[in-house]
Structure 1
Amino acid sequence: MLLLGPSRFGSLPPVTRFLLVACFGFWLAGLFAPHFINGWFGLIPAMVMKGELWRLVTYVFPHGGIFHLIFNCFLIWTLGGMMEGGMGSVRYGRLLFWCALAAAFLTVAVTPSSRIPVIGASGAVFGMLGAFAALNPDAVVRLYFLFPMSARALVILLAVVELAMSLSGSNPGIAGTAHLGGLAAGWLIARPPGFLTRFAEAVRPDPKPPFDPQAELDRLLDKISSSGMESLTRRERETLERLSRERGGRA
């Protein structure tokens, strides 16, 4: 069973520390200038549609209240710190970035004309949960629940709850679409082999085999033997001369 508990702040890996400091700093600034912080850094779909693309990332840092901040920072500190320690800071940072971006894109796609700011790291945090469940589907967790469940079951439950809330509009103060976007992105990015992995393999061109000088020289000599020197292209002749010089002989 996975029991999450906070480590000492000084022992946390760098991405986790940065997120905690940034979220707390923006929340603190928001106490004194909430309209400025939310208005300039929050995810406002209508403003994103007008070209203010920085909002697709900066919305992660401001938070709407102390409990919103505590919930996200607790998971970033505990589960996030553990995942960064296992994945490495670069991979973990990329994971959170793409999850936050996916959460933002889905929010803008669903409500492109909205002028209500969406703020908070919940999209990235839900992506982190999705990635953890994809990598450790059978891990047993006891997190905000009185009974244990597998990580896979927890993510499915979260997805169902967020989808129901988004469709019903029962809690307009919570950006369910952002949660769903982050959760799905984290699951798809981390799930081995995963849809995104298969898609990348399908569209990625086949890598060129490493250049083998001897094999290339043999091919050119065979071509000369069968079709004559005039059958070589200009590039093939240059290659033949270069390979011959490197081997100190003549073809």
Structure 2
Amino acid sequence: MPPLPPVTKTLILICTAVFCLQTFVPQTLTMWLALWPVGSGLFGPWQVVTYAFLHGGLFHLFFNMLGLWMFGSELERVWGQKRYLQFLLAGALAAAGAQMAVTAMTGSHNPTIGASGALFALLLAFGMLFPNRQVMLLIPPIPMKARTFVVVFGALELLLGFLDRGDIAHFAHLGGMVGGFLMIRYWRRQPPFGGRRR
């Protein structure tokens, strides 16, 4: 496991602190900070960011923070703090946009919480920057290249998005990946953004 650089460490501490607060005032935090569908009457524009700091349970928090540590630490060192934060924000906003579109189409009035969309953006970036790096699935413990890891998770999320009718926001995860992909293309001045590579 890589050591924790400052932004990653701060985000893990904030998410953990917010989760502790959720145990005392869960309804209040969910009411104000979760991402509510626009048609629910509870939507606020700040929620497209704040929803990422809430989590639905200890395992939800643990796996998201583990992923933030595993993938985010290295990316923060490569990009620096400012660009790393910009990337996380792009992933969270894209995930929020995808989820809002899905809830509008399905008529759902359920809120969305969790940093998973931003985490999937980090996963995609890790696969793009370090495609041949070996990573290990936790369950089952199978080693694979980072690019294969990204493809497997992306395909799984797409499949589950159509098949799973549970509470997991699969299309938000895919939205985070798309947002991360576009952010990297923008930094590189590649299509659809054009211009010279930076």
Question: Which interval holds the TM-score relative to the shorter structure?
Answer: 0.7 to 0.9
Q: Give the aligned partner of residue 107 of structure 1.
A: 99
Please identify runs of 4+ aligned residues in structure 1 that moved more than 4 A: 47-51, 191-194
Residue 177 of structure 1 aligns with an amino acid whose one-letter code is F
Which range moved further: 41-50 or 115-124? Answer: 41-50
Tell me which residue corresponds to 1:221: none
Superposed CA offset, 1:6-35 (max 9, x none): 53xxxx323212211111111111111111
Q: Provide the C-alpha distance between the structure 2 equivalents of 1:121 and 1:169, rounded to a whole number of angstroms.
A: 20
Cα distance, 1:49 vs structure 2: 8.1
In structure 1, the gaps of 5 or more residues are: 205-251
Alpha-carbon offset, residue 151 of structure 1: 1.1
1:166 aligns with 2:154: no
**Matching residue of 2:190:** 197
Deviations 1:33-76 (A, max 9, x none): 11111111001123688761111000000100000000011111
Name the structure 2 match of 1:219.
none
The answer to whether 1:150 aligns with 2:142 is no
Structure 2 CA distance, aligned partners of 1:137 and 1:148?
A: 13
Instruction: Tell me, yes or no, if the aligned pair for 1:137 and 1:150 is still in contact at 8 Å.
Output: yes
One-letter amino acid of the counterpart of residue 150, structure 2: V
CA contact (8 A) 2:51 2:115 kept: yes
Matched, 1:116 2:106: no
Any idea what the Cα deviations from partners look like across 1:158-182, whole Å, max 9, x if unmatched?
1111111110124x12110111111
CA distance in 2, matches of 1:50, 1:146: 41
The amino acid of 1:96's aligned partner reads L
Q: CA RMSD in A?
A: 2.3
Q: Does 1:76 align with 2:68?
A: yes
In terms of Rg, which structure is larger?
1
Q: If the length of structure 2 is used for normalisation, what is the TM-score?
A: 0.88
The CA distance in 2 between the partners of 1:6 and 1:14, in whole Å, is 12
**1:131 touches 1:191 (CA, 8 Å); kept in 2?**
no
In the aligned structure 1, how far is the partner of 2:38 from the partner of 2:125? Answer: 30
1:141 has 2:139 as partner: no
Structure 1 87/143 Cα, relative in aligned 2: closer, same or farther at 3 Å?
farther
User: Which residue of structure 2 aligns with residue 16 of structure 1?
Assistant: 8
Q: How many residues align structurally?
A: 193
Ranked by relative contact order (alpha carbons within 8 Å, sequence separation 6 or more), the top structure is 2
Note if contact 1:133-1:187 (Cα within 8 Å) is conserved in structure 2: no
